[in-house]
Amino acid sequence: MSKRIVLLIYLMVVSQLAFSQGKSKADRFFEKGDYTNAAKYYEINLEGENYKKDLENIITSYYNIFEYRKASRYLKQLVNGRFVETNKTYDNEFNFKFYQVLSALGDYEKGLDYLKLYKENKSKPFNKDEAIATIEDFKLMDSDYEVEVVGFNSSASDFGALKYNDRIYFTSDRDDNRLLGKEYKWTHRGFLDIYSVKVSEENKPQGIAAKISENINSKYHEGNFCFSKDGNTMYLSRSNFRDGKKEFDDKKNNNIQLYKSNFVDGEWSKPEKLSFNTTGFSYQHPALSPDEKRLYFSSNQEGGIGSFDLYYVNINSDGSYSEPINLGPTVNTENREHFPFISDEGHLFFSSNGHLGLGMLDIFVSEFVNNQYTKPINLGAPINSQYDDFNLNYYNNTQGFFASNRKRADDNIYSFTQTGEIFIREYINKFEIRDKVTEQFVPNVSVTLTDRRQNINYENTLDSIASFNKNLLAGNYVLKATSNEYYDGVLSVKVEEEQDQKHVLFLEKLPPPPPPDPVETIIAEKNIDKDLKDKDPVRFEMLTDVEGPPIIEKDGKLYFELEPIYFDFDMWNIREDSKKILDELAEKLERYPDIHIKISAHTDSRGTVRYNQILSEKRAESTRNYLALVGYVNARRIKFQGFGELSPIVECPNNDCTEEEFQLNRRSEFEIVEY
């Protein structure tokens, strides 16, 4: 429920609506922020005629309570002009909402059409193809993190976890003992409070989480917070108060603002509002720089770039603060940036729905270089998902917490361990092509190095020293080598996040050409038809062998007739039900050591053509790797190729196939290309 958290932390009070026929019951719930009940009564209103404002409000209601499929239904009606008003225009913000909703529902390609429309309505260029390529890179990139859900989550909304000594502090609305009437209308649950729980070294809870000081927690919201390094100062987001009561601005909004509390004599002091808070705006999500000389936060104050931007203030030696300073357009977008965190190296982690991502809020990082922040990098899966992912922070160099509603429920806290380098670097890689037997360089060899998109990174004909160096980004590459005296060679290369890696491709020398067989020459030239056993005894033997997978002939070609090697949707792992089939194939290949095969992998038609091509190549490679590594089949005997969605068994126009029909199209074929 992080959007609720993001917006609740900015307690939005909708401006009064003026209908000529008066306010409906749905309108009154909507104005109070009770979106669940508002949606219920707008459904009734819309059983009659569709009014634009009712459509817009029911969309906003379902959007705010994370009912994205229902929001999508009414967004379709709005953007297609299915309402009674003759003016069929609508607010451009609903194009952005439709983009987010469709991304959350998994249809990011269609969603990008509405992001393009949203951008173009603002006279800003947008390239959909580049956006698709970027998103698919996020989906296919190797993970730099391992994540798991923590043990102190509840059925309510939990987020904002920070570790200090042997305790974890976090924000939650889990309080089920709230007084009558003290219910937050948006969620129909209690208000947010700050909790803590003692944990083991492995972050396992050692007791029950409990609220911290009553001086900190009030009858309204306390949201994100941060501590000073000595643990004696807390900065926190809090409902704006005066004399114990909510303070409203002239628009009747109760904004979130930043407060500070000190730990004195074993108690937290009553929070004091920071001087730079400005009436009428929200200030939230505090984060201290490592030297504690800057306080970062998110705000919608006047003069920003988007609805919420990231700012910082300098903390002066006397404890006073500078005016807020905007982090600028490299970090901030026209939409929302929230939840800053500054690492010990000065890098900025934050959440945004304005930078291109996997859906809803994603977590990004901007490297701090030459005293400024670089273009943000999406952290990719598994940190990010198609739902809201936010509030990442580290408690040591490689470990920390973040929050997500990826289970399609309330926010949960996840722990993470960083396992790779998150910033884009090029690494020195050396490549050599050598004779398999002598291990000497293969002279006059032509080489091509391509990335996973088939882009050529290096191409050349090498001289007597068959080696070259290339600086490469971490990722998967393919090295191909050809020489007149050798079999063609292919080496799959995985570039790690380290320098001075070496990759050697060994080529097998071609045997001397056999003398021509005059009998076979005559048979071939004259197309002599005689018994197969006499014409091709090996072929005859293979076709008549009953042990193991049978070999069949189709259109003059030989194939192993196997039970289908199926893959799960969007995956390339070898399934358990296919391992036995491949084991039997490996046994038969051992009996026929001269057989070389070609694995052809096919996908269904869901996804883009380019993405399916990459996926099919991974499936073919995965099948080859299983035969080589588990079945002990010499990898040089196996070629593989992905054909994407181009050769389906069952045609699926408009992707209207059943799951079983899609499954038929996700298959592998095994052609005997040499024996």
pLDDT recorded at residue 548: 84
**pLDDT band with cut points at 50, 70 and 90 for residue 6:** very low
- Cα separation, 182 vs 438, in Å, equals 81
Position 300, amino acid: N
Instruction: Kindly indicate the confidence band of residue 7, based on its pLDDT and cuts at 50, 70 and 90.
Output: very low
- Contact of 481 with 431, CB cutoff 8 Å: no
DSSP 229-261: TTS-EEEEEEE-EETTEE---TTS---EEEEEE
Task: Quickly count: other Cβ atoms within 10 Å of residue 307's Cβ.
Answer: 15
Quick one: residue 252, left, alpha or beta (phi over 0 = left, psi -120 to 50 = alpha)?
Answer: left
At 530 the pLDDT is 61
Residue with tokens 């309402």: 83
> What pLDDT is attached to residue 546?
67
Q: What angle do CA 93, 97, 103 make, to 5 degrees?
A: 145
Q: Which residue has the tokens 């038609």?
A: 605
Question: What integer pLDDT is reported at residue 15 of this predicted model?
Answer: 36
Task: Tell me which residue of 591, 564, 576, 514 sits closest to 669, measured CA to CA.
Answer: 564
Residue 188 clears pLDDT 70, i.e. is over it: no
pLDDT > 70: percent of the chain: 89
Q: Which of 74-88, 230-244, 381-395, 477-491 has the lowest mean pLDDT?
A: 230-244
Q: CB–CB of 110/79 below 8 Å?
A: no
pLDDT surpassing 50 at residue 519: no
Is the pLDDT reported for residue 520 higher than 60? Answer: no
Q: Which two tokens stand for residue 304?
A: 């920003």
Task: Identify whether the C-beta of residue 242 lies closer than 8 Å to the C-beta of residue 272.
Answer: no
Rounded-to-integer distance, Cα 361 and Cα 354, Å: 8
Using the predicted structure, report yes or no on whether residue 249 has a pLDDT greater than 60: no
pLDDT tier at 97 (50, 70, 90 boundaries)? very high
Report CA 525 to chain centroid distance, whole Å. Answer: 59
Residue 83: is its pLDDT beyond 70?
A: yes
What integer pLDDT is reported at residue 110 of this predicted model? 92
Calculate the average pLDDT of the chain: 86
Predicted confidence at residue 551, as pLDDT, reads 77
Q: Whole-angstrom Cα distance, residue 307 to residue 298?
A: 10
Q: Which residues pair with 418 in a beta bridge?
A: 145
Confidence of residue 20 (pLDDT cuts 50, 70, 90): very low
Question: How high is the pLDDT of residue 242?
Answer: 63
Look at residue 522 in the predicted model and tell me its pLDDT.
38
Sheet bearing 193-198, strands edge to edge: 158-164, 167-172, 193-198, 210-211
In this predicted structure, the answer to whether residue 268 has a pLDDT above a threshold of 90 is: yes
Q: In the prediction, which pLDDT does 603 show?
A: 84
**What pLDDT, on the 0 to 100 scale, is given for residue 21?**
46
Instruction: Give 552 or 257, the one with higher predicted confidence.
Output: 257
Spell out the residues 6+ positions from residue 271 whose beta carbon is closer than 8 angstroms to its own.
Answer: 215, 216, 234, 236, 238, 259, 260, 261
Q: Which long-range contacts link 34-43 to residues 24+ away (Cβ below 8 Å)?
A: 34/185, 34/186, 34/188, 35/60, 35/61, 35/62, 35/64, 35/65, 35/186, 36/61, 36/65, 36/188, 39/65, 39/67, 39/70
pLDDT of 179 over the 80 cut: no
DSSP 653: G
pLDDT at position 17 is 35
For residues 56 and 567, the model is more confident at 56
Residue 456 — φ and ψ, nearest 5°?
A: -80, 120
For tokens 């995985």, name the residue.
Answer: 494
Of the ranges 333-347, 383-397, 543-557, which one carries the lowest mean pLDDT score? 543-557
Please give the helix or strand (H or E) that residue 469 lies within, else none.
strand 467-473
Burial of 105 (0-12, 13-18, 19+ CB in 10 A): middle
* Residue 618 pLDDT exceeds 80: yes
